[in-house]
Amino acid sequence: MQTILQSNLQSKAWQPNPGKGETTFNGVLLLVVWCIFTPYFIFTFILFIRRWDKQPIKARSPLLLSISSVAGYIMITHYCWMTWYSEENWPCIVSHWLIWAVMSWYYVPYILRCLRLFFIFKINFEKTEMHKGKDGEKKKQGFFVRKRHWFTDRRLLIWLIIFNTLVFLFGLFRQFYYSDNYPGRYGCTVTTLYLTGMTVIFYGMSSTSNNELKAVSLTWTLLIIPYIIIQWVGYNEDIFTTTYFQVLWPLVSYIISDVYPLHLSYISSQIITFSTSNVLSSLKTIIGNERACKHFEEFLVGEFSVENLLFYQDVARFKLLTDSDEINSQGKVIFDKYIDPSSVLEESIFMLMERDSYPRFLKSAICTKFKKELQNEENVLQILKKQKMV
Amino acid sequence: MGNKNLKKKRKEEIARNELVEQELKKSDLVQKQQVKLLILGAGDSGKSTLLKQMQILYKDGFSKEDKQLYRNVIRTNIITYIKILLKGVQMLDLKLHKSNEKIAEDFLNLPDIIDSFTPNSILASKQLWNDPAMKMSFEKRAQFQLADSAGYFLDNIDRIASENYKPSDQDILNCRISTTGVKVVEFLVNNQPWKVVDVGGQRSERKKWIHHFDDTTLLIYVVAVNEYDQKLFEDNTTNRLHESLKLFETTANNQFLSNKNCVILFNKTDLFKDKIQKVNFNKCFEDFKGSNNYEEVIKFIKTLFVKAGKNTKRSIFVHYSCATNTNEIRFVFDAVQSTILENILKEQGFM
């Protein structure tokens, strides 16, 4: 979609920097943005590669993610530099081909990832229904296994290449055989395509509890609407359009689509989600796992013995303190909070919970529900493994 | 003539029908009405043991996972018991056999976890348990805090240490795990749904009891009668039986419970019988003037408790038991059930 914009450079329809070889305030600003963004990009990319196999399943498609993040970086770099240089200094044909080649590589993996998330959610959902419907029988052969066979990483890549080649050919065609003065038309065609896909996914997602998916689709939809409007209304030398859409949009979507999964890979609860037996095997692992601990707490509240857990956690946190002032104040807080004539040791509280509350928790309805949830996710993982999607 | 006979017959039929219907209604009521039993008592009196007995009597006993858990707890407890007894030896200024002194020193450094239960520590435990000073310390255990079942487990140490040891029902009944919070377990006792509420008995746990006071059918108050010479775990100064009596007085006369029927279960009578021969009861209860034998003392305790909970709105039933004995407890629950049935029928106006 950017090709048309660039082709308009020749027809003077788009002139971000008036004057020859002069830098504008806007250009400097973008250069600063770029200078900050580059180390940030390198840093996150290295982190991402290092945590390649730590990606939580729902956000995980490292291949697509890395393609789109590199492409996104090239795009942002290009826009920043282009604005900084004036039009004459920046070879327009480079701009053309760069954007042409890179743009779809940035956005399309993104959409594919959303689709993928959508189907993962879909199996999740269907599994739950199946558990409810049939009398305890687990069916591993869901509709997903039979019908969505193409939905693997490798196949997604093939789809990506096919789609991008088509876009590229269309661009070439337009470049050489078709020129009019409606620069927005082509951009709108592609954007409408994106928008339609995103909206469908967004509506499909509205019932999901997957926050990542919600965030991704929402940002996408919200950012793309003003873009499409401006494309239709007319694209000119307005600084707002260049700065905002050429840089801000990729930047925001970069952070959400690439940094969010990275962030998730550091949350322990998201990583060990997929082993029922590990998480529930002892009280220590339950307390160590954010998600499991939440369920345990809920159970304890129902049994009126949550104060044990809170006390244990407070003391555990207290043990890590090093600052003497803080130790004093926290010590007082703990003493005031759990004041009790019989001084109970942390160890004995843990033992109390381990022997009395923990076995009961394992049998409780809350734990059964949680186990089912984990089992469900484990099934999904197995299907994905079978499909070589992980 | 024939007409008259017919009329008579019909009348009889109607009467019989009514009777059958009433019977049906009765049994229906009994089955539909959920019964809520509240088991209360001071710490370590045997409330959870009652629940375990119900698990054996009205459900299918203990699962494999339960047994695994109890096995670990029992084994860890053995380490704990020996350590407590060793500290008791120090406290009472007793002398261990010379060869045992070094062992005892090492033993006190063991942490109270299942990993401490190694062949070495088993051997040490056995040797220490056979030491006369330890036996002396065990005799005087009332002066420090040692669980009542310690003797039972220490005598069975060989069986517990064996590789494929699976705790028997008796072991599980004897195994003490202090309860925290409130647990609610549902049973089906002779087709009647029972909701049994078991609570933690230690002081800090008691403020939680109030959450379950309403719509109680029957209150079961458990008293460990053998505790008359022991001090509270919580503060080491208050006499346990005094505490239990005081606790009963306040809970039984609570506004939510004061009109509920009440069963007082005098528990641990077996240990009581042993103790009464060694420790004089009026040392701990100066009001007691009778002779120091089982019947008189238990009668005295009974009057104390019944007096504390007596009012015009309720009846108090008294049972004596040893909670680890399944037969005795079955008898108690049978009695409890007939009480409950009477109660329901009375409420519905059938009696």
Interchain contact, B112 vs A351, CB within 8 Å: yes
Interchain contact, A340 vs B178, CB within 8 Å: no
Q: How many CA atoms lie within 13 A of B209 on its CB side?
A: 27
Do residue A99 and residue A64 come from a single domain? yes
The pLDDT score that the predictor gives to residue B319 is: 92
- Identify the H or E element spanning A291: helix A290-302
For chain A, give the mean pLDDT. Answer: 65
Q: Which residue of B has its CA nearest to A302?
A: B182
Q: Do B95 and B131 meet the contact criterion of CB atoms below 8 Å apart?
A: no
Binding residues of B for Mg(2+): 48, 179
Q: Which residue of B has its CA nearest to A361?
A: B183
Q: Is residue A213 part of a domain?
A: yes
Minimum mean pLDDT among A121-135, B204-218, B224-238: which range? Answer: A121-135
Q: Do B252 and B262 meet the contact criterion of CB atoms below 8 Å apart?
A: yes
Do residue A306 and residue A249 come from a single domain? no
State how far the Cα of B154 lies from the Cα of A26, in Å rounded to an integer. Answer: 84
The pLDDT score that the predictor gives to residue A34 is: 83
Q: Is residue A81 part of a domain?
A: yes
Interchain contact, B200 vs A303, CB within 8 Å: no
The pLDDT score that the predictor gives to residue A15 is: 44
% of chain B surpassing 70 pLDDT: 97
State how far the Cα of A190 lies from the Cα of A171, in Å rounded to an integer. Answer: 11
Interchain contact, B182 vs A308, CB within 8 Å: no
Taking the Cβ of residue A336 and every Cβ of chain B, the question of whether any pair is shorter than 8 Å is answered with no
Q: Is residue A251 part of a domain?
A: yes
Q: Is residue A133 part of a domain?
A: no
**A68-72, A179-183, A206-210, A244-248 — which one is most confidently predicted on average?**
A68-72
Q: Is residue A135 part of a domain?
A: no
Do residue A281 and residue A264 come from a single domain? no
Q: Which residue of B has its CA nearest to A342?
A: B234
Interchain contact, A353 vs B208, CB within 8 Å: no
Q: Do A128 and A376 meet the contact criterion of CB atoms below 8 Å apart?
A: yes
Do residue A155 and residue A15 come from a single domain? yes
Nearest to A234 by CA among A389, A61, A13: A13
Do residue A163 and residue A110 come from a single domain? yes
Nearest to A378 by CA among A362, A361, A360, A390: A390
Taking the Cβ of residue A310 and every Cβ of chain B, the question of whether any pair is shorter than 8 Å is answered with no
The pLDDT score that the predictor gives to residue B23 is: 77
CATH for A376:
1.10.167.10
Per-residue pLDDT reduced to its tens digit, A156-166: 566 667 766 76
Structural domain that includes position A45: 2-124+147-269
- Work out the minimum CA distance from B255 to partner chain A, whole angstroms: 21
The pLDDT score that the predictor gives to residue B66 is: 87
Interchain contact, B180 vs A359, CB within 8 Å: no
| Burial degree of B168 (CB within 10 A; 0-12, 13-18, 19+) | middle
Comparing A64 with B75, the larger pLDDT belongs to B75
| Residue B229, number of CB atoms within 10 A of its CB | 18
Taking the Cβ of residue B180 and every Cβ of chain A, the question of whether any pair is shorter than 8 Å is answered with yes
Minimum mean pLDDT among A89-98, A115-124, A359-368: which range? Answer: A115-124
ipTM of the complex: 0.72
Q: Do A110 and A253 meet the contact criterion of CB atoms below 8 Å apart?
A: yes
Q: Provide the phi-psi class of B140: left if phi over 0, else alpha when psi is between -120 and 50, else beta.
A: alpha
Q: Is residue A50 part of a domain?
A: yes
The pLDDT score that the predictor gives to residue A5 is: 46
Do residue A190 and residue A224 come from a single domain? yes
Judge whether residue A60 has pLDDT over 60: no
Do residue A178 and residue A305 come from a single domain? no
Interchain contact, B183 vs A360, CB within 8 Å: yes
Q: Whole-model pTM?
A: 0.60
Taking the Cβ of residue B235 and every Cβ of chain A, the question of whether any pair is shorter than 8 Å is answered with yes
Q: Do B251 and B307 meet the contact criterion of CB atoms below 8 Å apart?
A: no
Taking the Cβ of residue A359 and every Cβ of chain B, the question of whether any pair is shorter than 8 Å is answered with yes
Domain boundary among A242, A269, A296: A269
Interchain contact, A303 vs B183, CB within 8 Å: yes
Split at pLDDT 50, 70, 90, the class of A229 is low
Per-residue pLDDT reduced to its tens digit, B158-171: 999 888 899 999 99
Q: Which residue of A has its CA nearest to B210?
A: A304
Judge whether residue A138 has pLDDT over 60: no
Interface probe with A: pick from B55, B145, B183, most Cβ of A within 10 Å? B183
Do residue A179 and residue A196 come from a single domain? yes
- Work out the minimum CA distance from A128 to partner chain B, whole angstroms: 27
Per-residue pLDDT reduced to its tens digit, A37-48: 888 888 888 877
> Could you tell me which residues are beta bridge partners of residue B219?
B38, B262
Per-residue pLDDT reduced to its tens digit, A113-129: 666 665 655 544 444 44
Domain boundary among A222, A241, A269: A269
Instruction: Pick A355's closest partner by Cβ from B177, B203, B234.
Output: B177
Judge whether residue B265 has pLDDT over 90: yes
Interchain contact, B234 vs A342, CB within 8 Å: yes
Q: How far is CA A94 from CA A98, A187, A283, in A?
A: 6, 19, 60
Judge whether residue B264 has pLDDT over 90: yes
Which two structure tokens, joined as six digits, stand for B168? 């028997």
Residues of chain A with Cβ-Cβ distance to B180 below 8 Å are 303, 305, 308, 352-353, 356-357
Domain count along chain A = 2
| Burial degree of A373 (CB within 10 A; 0-12, 13-18, 19+) | middle
CATH for A43:
1.20.1070
- Work out the minimum CA distance from A267 to partner chain B, whole angstroms: 30
Per-residue pLDDT reduced to its tens digit, B302-319: 999 999 888 888 888 999
Do residue A282 and residue A229 come from a single domain? no
Taking the Cβ of residue B145 and every Cβ of chain A, the question of whether any pair is shorter than 8 Å is answered with no
Rounded mean pLDDT, B189-214: 83
Per-residue pLDDT reduced to its tens digit, A17-37: 444 445 566 677 778 888 888
Taking the Cβ of residue B210 and every Cβ of chain A, the question of whether any pair is shorter than 8 Å is answered with no
Q: How far is CA B319 from CA A182, B50, B322, in A?
A: 97, 13, 10
Q: Which residue of A has its CA nearest to B67?
A: A359
Do residue A265 and residue A281 come from a single domain? no
- Work out the minimum CA distance from B113 to partner chain A, whole angstroms: 9
Taking the Cβ of residue A356 and every Cβ of chain B, the question of whether any pair is shorter than 8 Å is answered with yes
Q: Is residue A167 part of a domain?
A: yes
Interchain contact, B181 vs A357, CB within 8 Å: yes
Do residue A200 and residue A334 come from a single domain? no
Residues of chain A with Cβ-Cβ distance to B73 below 8 Å are 355
- Work out the minimum CA distance from B232 to partner chain A, whole angstroms: 11
Q: Is residue A140 part of a domain?
A: no
Q: Do B133 and B88 meet the contact criterion of CB atoms below 8 Å apart?
A: no
Taking the Cβ of residue A305 and every Cβ of chain B, the question of whether any pair is shorter than 8 Å is answered with yes
**Residue ranges in A53-210 assigned as alpha helix (H):** 62-84, 92-133, 143-147, 153-177, 184-205
Interface probe with B: pick from A342, A364, A371, most Cβ of B within 10 Å? A342
Q: How far is CA A45 from CA A30, A111, A262, B219, in A?
A: 21, 20, 9, 66
Do residue A229 and residue A330 come from a single domain? no
Comparing A21 with B151, the larger pLDDT belongs to B151
Domain boundary among A269, A287, A314: A269
Residues of chain A with Cβ-Cβ distance to B231 below 8 Å are none
Interface probe with A: pick from B180, B211, B235, most Cβ of A within 10 Å? B180
Interchain contact, B208 vs A304, CB within 8 Å: yes
Taking the Cβ of residue A351 and every Cβ of chain B, the question of whether any pair is shorter than 8 Å is answered with yes
